[in-house]
Each structure stands twice: as C-alpha cells, then as structure tokens.
Amino acid sequence: MEEIGFLGMGIMGKAMAVNLLRHGFKVTVWNRTLSKCDELKEHGASVGESPAAVVEKCKYTIGMLSDPAAALSVVFDKGGVLEQIGKGKGYIDMSTVDADTSSKIFEAITAKGGDFLEAPVSGSKKPAEDGQLVILAAGEKALYEEALPAFDVMGKKSFFLGQVGNGAKMKLVVNMIMGSMMNAFSEGLVLADKSGLNPQTLLDVLDLGAIANPMFKMKGPSMLKGNYTPAFPLKHQQKDMRLALALGDENAVSMPVAAASNEAFKKARTLGLGDLDFSAVHNTVKGNDQ
C-alpha cells in the first residue's frame, strides 16, 4: 500500500490520521508543533521534519490546517509542499478555506506538474474518529479516485463536486447554516430558562418535532451543563461565518441571519471563548460575558 502524508495534527487531523493507521494505511505525519506527532508514532506513524519532507516520501499528502493563512503557509513557505510536489504526486487540502485560497494552491501545484484536490469535510471530532465524515471534494478527478480508498475509511460518503472552489463553497454554505442554527438554538435555550421553562423539556420537545437534528441532540445536554469542551473550536466557526459572508458579498446574497451570527461568534471570541467549542456562543447569550 502506498504511503499517505498527513500535515496538521490538530483535533481533526489527528483523529483522521489515527483512523487511517487503524485501517492499515501507512502514514507519515507532520505538525508545526512537532511534539503533537508523538502520539501518532505510538499508533505506527512515521514523522516527517517538514511538509516538503513528507511530500518527498509520499505519493499523495493530505493537509488539515486551521485556516487560509495556515493552508497557504504549509504550501508556499520554506520547507513547504511546493518544494517537493511534482509530476506523479498529489496534494489534498481538507482544511476549511475559501475558494480563492484553494485556487491559489491549485494553481501553484499544477504549475509544478502536481495534482490538487480540495476535500473539506462535514462532521466533527467523533465522526473523524469513527470514519463517518462527509467529504466534499473538487479538483483533479484522477487524484480523487486514487484517494477514494482513504476517503472510504475517513468518511461515510464522498461527493465529487467538479472544479476547484466548489468543495470550499459547499463547505462554507453548510457551516454558515450550522453557525446560524447554533445561535438560534442558544437563544432558545436561554429564552426557555429565563421565561420559567425547563430547558431539558425544550430539548425533549425539539427532539420529537420537525427541527430535530443530531447537533441539537448531541450538543444540547452539554450546553445545559455549561460544558463547552472543544470538538469544533469557536474560532474556526467564526472564520467559516466570515468566509461565507464574503462569498455572500461576492454573489450579492443578503444574509442578515448569518451576519448576526457572525457578530455573536466574534463577541464570543473577544470574550476569550475562541478555543472552546462553537456551542460556547451559548455562554454569551446567557450573559456570562463580563
């Protein structure tokens, strides 16, 4: 089996790489903070000293990085992907970024003869651990087909969406909806409580009706306990709202609900909640913001 490279051992990258290793893939990993690779070694991974070193060794390499700046840095900076990418090698960026960022990476990689695929994912830490992600791929079809055995391990369903940019846009639309839902949910929980209702009963009612969904079901009980242990960090959700609003600007789509949600996430960030789960926006609605 060909060796797969994996750059970025954050919440998602680590879970996805461990899952690949469990399924018998050979994986070489790299992370900016190299110590985070130690745990992966215990699962059988090799460690590369730079993105370039990983790309040199592997037929294709996956990136799972925090934001556009990180995704660009890992490709373009010294020791980056571009130094070793070339004919017969592929790079798959699974980070959530905007279409412009993805296109810049695509152009640079194809200029060197390499193949590029963007493949952001829907699903969080637990689906990543369980191989239940939804993969939103776009770009080089041959690389998509080559990576399908790995996608089938990491995800429950892969979509091929055509040209580069479509995967990024689809992911931003999905997360824009999710972020707005989280704000409406938080407001509902607080409104129920402040108006003398039992918020747990609200969860039960919601779960039986037309707006029942896995996010309310999974996050609701922890939110009521004030537990915001990060699965999807709030700073990343705010980044996604920001990028989705920019996509709305480009396409002249008015999105007042998303804009208000972005403000709520920004407020939560200024209150120091950025590294907590995105459900911590509930804490700002509760008024615990002094």
Ligand X SMILES: NC(=O)C1=CN([C@@H]2O[C@H](COP(=O)(O)OP(=O)(O)OC[C@H]3O[C@@H](n4cnc5c(N)ncnc54)[C@H](OP(=O)(O)O)[C@@H]3O)[C@@H](O)[C@H]2O)C=CC1
| Burial class of 143 by CB neighbour count within 10 A (0 to 12, 13 to 18, 19+) | buried
Rounded distance between C-alpha atoms, residue 128 and residue 139, angstroms: 22
Which position's Cβ is nearest ligand SSN? 124
| Contacted entry of ligand SSN, ligand X, none for residue 8, CB cut-off 5 to 8 Å set by kind | ligand X
Q: Which is nearer to ligand X, 69 or 111 (CB)?
A: 69
Could you identify the residue written with the tokens 């919601």? 206
Of 149, 154, 145, 87, nearest to 120 by C-alpha is: 154
Question: What is the C-alpha separation between 136 and 114, in angstroms, rounded?
Answer: 20
Answer for which of 4, 6, 13, 188 binds ligand X (CB under 6 A) is 13
**Min CB(243)–ligand SSN separation in Å:** 11
**β-strand pairing of 133-139 with 115-118:** antiparallel
Q: Which helix (H) or strand (E) holds 134?
A: strand 133-139
Residue 171 among the catalytic residues: yes
The DSSP code for 251 is T
- Per-position x/- string for 155-184, each x denoting binding to ligand SSN as judged by CB under 6 A, each - no binding: --------------------x---------
- Decide if residue 261 touches ligand SSN (CB under 6 A): no
* CB nearer ligand SSN, residue 28 or residue 122: 122
Answer yes or no whether residue 124 interacts with ligand X by CB under 6 A.
Answer: yes
For position 242 contacting ligand X by CB under 6 A, the verdict is no
Query: What H or E segment, with its residue span, contains residue 60?
Result: strand 60-63
The yes or no reply on residue 36 touching ligand X (CB under 6 A) is yes
Report yes or no: 285 and 190 within 8 Å, Cβ to Cβ: yes
Q: Which is nearer to ligand SSN, 123 or 165 (CB)?
A: 123
Nearer to ligand SSN, 84 or 124 (CB): 124
Which of 14, 89, 169, 171 is catalytic? The answer is 171
What mask of x and - would describe binding to ligand SSN in positions 218 to 257, judged by CB under 6 A? Answer: --------------x-------------------------
Looking at the DSSP bridge assignments, the partners of residue 158 are 135
End-to-end CA distance of the chain: 55
CA 141 to CA 234: how far, in whole Å? 33
Q: What is the DSSP letter of 54?
A: H
CB of residue 122 to ligand SSN, shortest distance in Å: 5
**Which one of 6, 106, 216, 232 is in contact with ligand X (CB under 6 A)?**
232
From 19-27, 99-107, 153-161, 229-237, give the range in contact with ligand X by CB under 6 A.
Answer: 229-237
Q: How far, CA to CA in Å, does 178 sit from each of 33, 48, 201, 215, 221?
A: 30, 35, 23, 9, 18
Residues 93-152 that bind ligand SSN (CB under 6 A): 96, 122-124
Q: Which residues bind ligand SSN (CB under 6 A)?
A: 96, 122-124, 175, 232
- Residues assigned a catalytic role: 171
Q: Which residues bind ligand X (CB under 6 A)?
A: 8-13, 31-33, 36, 64-67, 69-70, 73-74, 95-96, 121, 124-125, 231-233, 236
